[in-house]
Amino acid sequence: MMERPGLFLSHDSSADRFSAIEFGSVDDGVPDEHWFGLSEHVGFLMGSPFGPVIGFVVKDFSELDLDDEDHEPMWDGPRFEVPVLGLRDASAAEVRLAAAAYLDGEPTMNRVFFSAAIAAGEEGELDDAVNHWRACLETGDLMAHYGLGYTLHELGRHREAYRHLRAYTEITPSSSWAWCWLGYTCAALGELGRPAAPTSARSSSRSRAGRRPMPVSGSSAWTGRLSVQLDREDAGKHFPPTAPWVDRPLVAEMSLTGVVWCASRCHDRGGWTNAHCSSGWTGTSTRPG
């Protein structure tokens, strides 16, 4: 019998967005080929380009028409377990119906803490933000590794930040922003200091994944400075001695790659997911035929 994924539920009521993703996975920074879009409202997330399905995301959750023929696979497709809802063998449509009744328009607790962490960070209350990110993480939302990591970095607690940012790059290795912040943190742990762009060349934005540094204008000087910090020959200096298993030159190179990708690709990108400078399902159908 095929094993059924156990799903973690997340509902952002302000955006009317619902996700039900296998525990231990996230839908942030996922490559396009991992998505199977049924319609502009529903996408199945796969563990690889070839499967299996490990969850799904719904936009316009409160208005979703489950009788639409495009959504037929939600009834007769993959089966899931959802402990919070007491479901052990449920279709995506059954999960959606049960979740709507259970939530009654309210956000899940991870999103309450997530929003509180973002708000505290924007107000400069970083210690409060850390507490909210920890609470979010403890609900099971692994995206909080990223928010907690960059917040700890900004507080100068780089060894603690490293643990969470490294974990997030392992959970979602395609997330260039996670590699970017890991690069900042690794350099801060070394002898060369923190490779940060001037304040005038950075901005922050509210998004599903939290804060993302971005150059306002030309990025060559910005990324050039970081390339000095993360040169392959010096990469070993930027990792704590407690992580001897890391391929240090590779991770340093990937961190730099993330920064270059962000600087060159994340300007004025449209689309449901791409607006967040992240790859993934764009809200269009990818069904054959």
**What phi and psi values does residue 138 have, to the nearest 5 degrees?**
-70, -15
Contact 66, 96 (CB under 8 A): yes
**What phi and psi values does residue 27 have, to the nearest 5 degrees?**
-105, 15
Q: Which pTM was predicted? A: 0.72
b/e for 111-129, b at 16 or more Cβ within 10 A?
Answer: bbbbbbbbebbeeeebebb
Q: Residue 21's beta-bridge partner residues? A: 8, 55
**Residue 3 carries which DSSP code?**
P
Burial class (CB in 10 A: 0-12, 13-18, 19+), 50: exposed
CB neighbours of residue 74 within 10 Å: 24
Contact 167, 185 (CB under 8 A): no
* Helix extents (H) in the chain: 73-76, 92-103, 109-122, 126-138, 144-154, 158-171, 176-188, 220-229, 248-265
228 Cβ neighbours under 8 A, 6+ residues apart: 192, 195
Instruction: Specify the pLDDT at position 1.
Output: 53
Instruction: Specify the pLDDT at position 3.
Output: 81
257 or 25, which is more confident? 25
Bond into 52 cis (ω within 30):
yes
CA angle at 9 for the pair 271 and 152, rounded to the nearest 5° = 75
Q: State how far the Cα of 149 lies from the Cα of 170, in Å rounded to an integer.
A: 14
Is it the case that residue 222 has pLDDT exceeding 50? no
pLDDT above 90 coverage of the chain, percent: 59
Which pair of structure tokens corresponds to residue 57?
């995301």
- Each residue of 109-166: pLDDT tens digit? 999 999 999 999 999 999 999 999 999 999 999 999 999 999 999 999 999 999 999 9
Q: Residue 79's beta-bridge partner residues? A: 91
Which pair of structure tokens corresponds to residue 109?
């607790």
Q: Residue type for 234, please?
A: D
Domain map of the chain by residue range? 7-103, 157-276
123 Cβ neighbours under 8 A, 6+ residues apart: none
Is it the case that residue 206 has pLDDT exceeding 90? no
Instruction: Specify the pLDDT at position 244.
Output: 33
